[in-house]
Amino acid sequence: QVQVVESGGGLVQAGGSLRLSCTVSGLTIRDHAMGWFRQAPGKQREGVSCITWHGLNTYYRDSVKGRFTISSDSAKNTLYLQMNDLSPEDTGMYYCAAKTYGYCSGVEVTQIAYWGQGTQVTVSS
């Protein structure tokens, strides 16, 4: 049974930083592309970042480039999202997901094999 569990969300002021973690069991993350997604109230879920299998390539949505960094630790089977210089527009529920295959289709919300339950990120102005 695969479990995907996010943590690290919280309330932060604009300009602050957060580091999200995603611990996975029942699946080896280095064999899958892994992604971070977010959903603001009243909006569709959108892709934030994706890392291909074995961490070969990374992708980011334009609005987070230069501020967010996706990484993984194979030994801990954990995915991370370092978020710096946060803005209120980054507010939302952040979800980690394991993709069906080892490649990313950019940051599209496609080919998702397993979702986590999400962690809330709130950025105050």
What are 66-122's pLDDT values in tens digits? 999 999 999 999 999 999 999 999 999 999 999 999 999 899 999 999 999 999 999
Q: Pick the closest to residue 9 from 124, 99, 122 (CA basis).
A: 122
Predicted pLDDT at 55: 85
Q: Pick the closest to residue 20 from 92, 88, 95 (CA basis).
A: 95
Predicted pLDDT at 118: 98
Collapsing DSSP to helix, strand or coil, 53 comes out as: helix
pLDDT at 3 over 90: yes
Predicted pLDDT at 52: 95
Rounded-to-integer distance, Cα 12 and Cα 75, Å = 29
Predicted pLDDT at 97: 98
What is the amino acid identity at position 125?
Answer: S
Helices (H), ranges, the chain:
none
pLDDT at 62 over 90: yes
Rounded-to-integer distance, Cα 45 and Cα 36, Å = 10
Give 11-59 pLDDT, tens digit per residue.
999 999 999 999 999 999 999 999 999 999 999 999 999 999 988 999 9
